[in-house]
Amino acid sequence: MEIGVSECFDAAHYLPNHEKCGKMHGHTYRVEVVVSGGLKNGMVMDFAELKEIVGKIVKDYDHNVLNEFIENPTCENLCIAIFERVKKVLPDGINIVRVRVYENPDKWAEIRI
């Protein structure tokens, strides 16, 4: 069974050596995280617990410059960074399925197992 949550945050970044995106600019990002596991007491895990995990991670990026966290903060690299951070803190028996990061409503990157 799979469950998922989403969180939003605002951040600035610039992409080194990129003609258009090399200047500092910002986005409102939306992050979707999907996990899987067996049912325990009728749930994969409590939505509130998953929301707290994802919320703590995106809070680090909120209203910051992503270049301070990721050398080349493309949407793809941000997606990988969030995936790795979520994966490290999930409870035993819960597996990360995918992370999707929307840079804008019509542009996104996704990593899945």
- Which CATH architecture is the domain 2-112 placed in? 2-Layer Sandwich (3.30)
With beta carbons less than 8 A apart as the criterion, state whether 85 and 57 touch. Answer: yes
Q: What pLDDT, on a 0 to 100 scale, did the predictor assign at position 84?
A: 98
The residues facing 108 across adjacent strands are 102
Per-residue pLDDT of 68-108, as tens digits, reads: 999 999 999 999 999 999 999 999 999 999 999 999 999 99
The per-residue DSSP string of the chain comes to: -EEEEEEEEEEEE--TT-TTTTS-EEEEEEEEEEEE---BTTBSS-HHHHHHHHHHHHHHHTTSBGGGT-SS--HHHHHHHHHHHHHHHSPTT-EEEEEEEEEETTEEEEEE-
Determine what percent of the chain is predicted with pLDDT higher than 90: 99
Question: Which residue in the block uniquely carries the two structure tokens 């596991």?
Answer: 37
Q: Which residues are known catalytic residues?
A: 21, 63, 103
